[in-house]
Amino acid sequence: MNAIHQLLTDHIDIWTAADTEKKSGRGRSSGNAAGVYGIKKLRELILELAVRGKLVQQDPNDEPASELLKRIQAEKAKLIAEGKIKKAKPLAEIIDDEKPFELPDGWEWTRLGEITNFGVTEKLELIFDDTWVLDLEDIEKDTSKLIQKFRFSERRSLSSKNSFQAGDVLYGKLRPYLNKVVVADEAGICTTEILPIRCYGPFNSNYFKFALKSPYFINYVNARSYGMKMPRLGTEDGRRAYFPLPPLADQHRIVAKVDELMTLCDQLETQHSNAAEAHEKLVSHLLGTLTQSSNTTTSPLCKRGAGGDLDWQRVAAHFDTLFTTEASIDALKQTLLQLAVMGKLVPQDPNDEPASELLKRYDISSTPSFIAGWSKVSLGVLGDIYGGATPSKAKPEYWVGNVPWISPKDMKRFYINNAEDNVSEGAICETALKLIPEGSLLMVVRGMILAHSFPVALTTSKVTINQDMKALVVPEEVKEYMLLYIRAMKNSFVALVDRSSHGTCKLVSSKLWSVMVECPPEAEQHRIVAKVDELMAICDQLKSRITKANQLQQKLADVVVEQAIS
């Protein structure tokens, strides 16, 4: 089996470099090394090799699985004769053409229902306070780690439960793709969506657990699960499943080897997590020096010799090391936005008309900013503020128009002007809805979308909004900069969110509209927006390259796995 060890060690770079694509997060791994694609594929490979008999060397002196099957069938017949189990409908014999793959000498293909009690459950008539009560939510997906353990005194339930014994394999049949399988270390009861499985003869529980978690078995189950929203494995399909049965001695050797290799995977994950955490801190610290620099009147990107320029030079010197992940590029983009609204991205021009003059033309009062030529103004006085509403569902004619009705879900999915719902002009005339002009700023003010991301956007057509939204109609000259400003200050806005005792999130209007905005001269706004657009395009190109490189690493991991099991 030296080839297996060589396979695992020669491709360490592939296993650790193929990251799982993340929807959100910080740093290199977002704190979850268990989600690394390469290491996940390595774990799957170990289990697949295990059930194919390629993980450990077979011993010709072992009692073959054919003899083990005879002992299992003898014990099964005895239990039937004693009335302890019912005689089940016989399962079809496995012919050679049906066998999924070739097994080593001494192994046997059998069906899960022939050697185990799959689908046969028992209930406990008497449940004690200290009885272990297991639910699916107690088991972590994929890893099958036990997250929590409750006793009957802590989790009383009148619903039907399956009983199990120590050593039983507990298989989660609901949404089986979650891969929840554990071996019971004591007796207890569990939800009926968990099936306690035990072999009728001698067996190693952990080998059976690994077999049920192997890619081969998961693919079988996924192909036969029924139910769209809550798929589950049917009892008869489970009983008919082909099962690779090794000699008992081989089962023990396989379990020992799998445990050894999974420990190595754990170590790889720890190393990856530590490196990712260090990378995240480094990115955060060096980007933080840019926004925290005392030099706030000149751009570190545009003027040499300034204090902020030294901070930027440190970032630039390590650019290839720092910005190697999608998350680090996202952090860079957010930092660039912050620099833009702090007056650090483009140089100020003393010949620009001050922002105060622009605001005066709209009768907007302001105060001088610490940045030359800039003014401070509260968000709420920059323009008209619109709230939203929901027209009655009882009037179908309200919902057959062509005016986009924007709700938080549209903001989350970036539909904006291609909303899932559209209303009629009549709905706007007859209800509390307002027709919001093109070029207005839209933002979510209630819900978890607000708390997590604070999405904001500019409309490119007339729209209307629901009650969880606000719209701000600002002067044409400042709308692009205001969109940039709110995105840059996302964390500050989210910090103003009120959370109720039951988890509802809301941004109170008085808090929102009292936020002070640093407003540059109009000419500088144009320079800032143009520079941000330019830099964001570069960041997107870098991010695309990183994404493609990671996809290539994932494909390499897939190829290595395919070659190993072929």
CA distances from 157 to 3, 132, 138, 146, 321 (A): 51, 12, 15, 20, 54
What is the pLDDT at residue 500?
Answer: 75
What is the pLDDT at residue 297?
Answer: 41
Residue 304, pLDDT > 60, answer: no
| Percentage of the residues of the chain whose pLDDT score is greater than 90 | 59
The full DSSP string for 398-442 is GGSSSEEEE-HHHHHTT-TTS-SEEE-HHHHHHSS---BPTT-EE
Q: Which amino acid is at 78?
A: K
Q: Which CATH architecture has domain 355-520?
A: Alpha-Beta Complex (3.90)
Residue 31, pLDDT > 70, answer: no
Task: Report the chain's mean pLDDT, rounded to a whole number.
Answer: 87
What is the pLDDT at residue 321?
Answer: 79
**Residue in the structure block whose two tokens are 């800032």:** 528
Mean pLDDT along residues 542-551: 87
Of 88-102, 412-426, 470-484, the range with the lowest mean pLDDT is 412-426
What is the pLDDT at residue 5?
Answer: 64
Residue 307, pLDDT > 50, answer: no
Residue 27, pLDDT > 80, answer: no
Phi, psi at 367, each rounded to 5° = -125, 155
In angstroms, the CA 474 to CA 252 distance is 72
Helices (H), 293-370: 307-317, 319-322, 326-341, 355-360
Residue 549, pLDDT > 70, answer: yes
In angstroms, the CA 65 to CA 214 distance is 20
pLDDT range class, residue 263, cuts 50, 70, 90: very high
Residue 314, pLDDT > 90, answer: no
C-alpha dihedral, 195 to 199 to 204 to 206, nearest 10°:
-10
Nearest to 282 by CA among 241, 231, 317: 317
The CATH number of domain 63-246 is 3.90.220.20: yes
Pairing of strands 384-386, 403-406: unpaired
What is the pLDDT at residue 301?
Answer: 43
Contact 292, 241 (CB under 8 A): no
More confident site: 220 or 419: 220
| Percentage of the residues of the chain whose pLDDT score is greater than 70 | 91
pLDDT digits 0-9 by tens, 452-467: 888 899 998 899 999 9
Which residues 6+ apart lie within 8 Å of 479 measured at CB? 439, 440, 441, 458
**Residue in the structure block whose two tokens are 């702090």:** 342
The CA radius of gyration of the chain, in Å to the nearest whole number, is: 31
Residue 557 tokens, joined: 């991991």
pTM beyond 0.85, yes or no: no
In angstroms, the CA 215 to CA 234 distance is 19
Residue 386, pLDDT > 50, answer: yes
Of 138-142, 311-315, 318-322, 355-359, the range with the lowest mean pLDDT is 311-315
In angstroms, the CA 380 to CA 514 distance is 6
User: Could you tell me where in the chain the CATH 3.90.220.20 domains are found?
Assistant: 63-246, 355-520
The 3-class secondary structure across 222-290, one letter per residue, is HHHCECCCCCECCHHHHHHCEEEECCHHHHHHHHHHHHHHHHHHHHHHHHHHHHHHHHHHHHHHHHHHH
- Which range in 316-330, 410-424, 473-487 is most confidently predicted, on average pLDDT? 473-487
Residue 503 tokens, joined: 């988890």
Which long-range contacts does 314-320 make (Cβ < 8 Å, 24+ apart)? 314/286, 314/289, 315/286, 315/287, 315/289, 315/290, 318/286
DSSP, collapsed to helix, strand or coil, labels residue 396 as: helix
The separation between CA 388 and the C-alpha centre of its own chain, rounded to angstroms, equals 31
What is the pLDDT at residue 281?
Answer: 86
Residue 238, pLDDT > 90, answer: yes
What is the pLDDT at residue 289?
Answer: 80
pLDDT digits 0-9 by tens, 154-213: 988 767 899 999 999 999 999 999 999 999 999 999 999 999 999 999 999 999 999 999
